[in-house]
Amino acid sequence: MSLELWRRLEEEGRERASRRDEVPRNDASFLDRITQVVKTSKFTDFASTISASALAISIPAEMCFKERIPRGECPIPDFVVETMKLMDESARRVIGNRCTWLLGRSDRYNLSTALNDLTACFHRLLELEERSSGKLKQISERVSLEI
């Protein structure tokens, strides 16, 4: 899968997170696209926790869309927070530190902050994928030169 698609999804996630006063129209669809893209990752453990977090976030996103509640006021249930903590733990194992910025640090954790954190973790996975594909490209170039 093209890393350009990953970059576009990351940008879309940042944009959605920043629009706190908007009702979360199509956020669940966006989150579904995240889950589909991360399935192609070579870093399956970290990717699966990002996918699980995206799926969990889609539940309050749909509820808030139906009830016309803006992202910044859309509450995030405890089960979503717990799922995102697992994502952070997975990030610690893979990259050496947590990937979220606001989880556990914000008194009012809401859809906007959850999208921000999910996008931050997705960004870290994208960085891993870019480094991995860069190494593979270097190896293939070396092999081509030797042949």
- For residue range 3-47, list pLDDT tens digits in order: 999 999 999 999 999 999 999 999 999 999 999 999 999 999 999
CA distances from 115 to 1, 36, 42, 57, 137 (A): 23, 16, 23, 8, 32
- For residue range 42-59, list pLDDT tens digits in order: 999 999 999 999 999 999
Structural domain of 34: 3-146
Q: What is the mean pLDDT of residues 91-110?
A: 92
Check if the beta carbon of residue 26 is closer than 8 Å to that of residue 60: no
Query: Total structural domains in the chain?
Result: 1
